[in-house]
Amino acid sequence: MKTLDYTCTHPGADHGKCFKMTRMDAFSADKWARHCLQAAVRGGAQVGADLAQAGLAGLAALGIEIFGFMEETALDKALDRLMHCVSLRPDPTNPALTRPVIAADFEEPETLGLVR
**Chain segment 77-105, per-residue pLDDT in tens:** 999 999 999 999 999 889 899 999 999 99
pTM (2 d.p.): 0.80
> In the predicted model, is pLDDT for residue 26 greater than 80?
yes
Q: Based on the domain organization, do 77 and 90 belong to the same domain?
A: no
Kindly state whether residues 71 and 111 are assigned to the same domain.
Answer: no
Give the Cα separation of 28 and 104 in Å (integer).
26
For residue 23, CA distances in Å to 28, 45, 50, 70 come to 10, 27, 25, 23
Same domain? 37 vs 67: yes
Mark whether 78 and 30 lie in a shared domain.
Answer: yes
The SS3 call for residue 38 is helix
pLDDT score for 46: 80
Is 64 found in the same domain as 101?
Answer: no
The verdict on 41 and 60 lying in the same domain is: yes
Report the percent of the chain where pLDDT is more than 70: 88
Quote the domain boundaries for residue 50.
26-83
Shared-domain flag, residues 36 and 1: no
Q: What's the domain count of the chain?
A: 2
Verify that 75 and 90 share a domain, yes or no: no
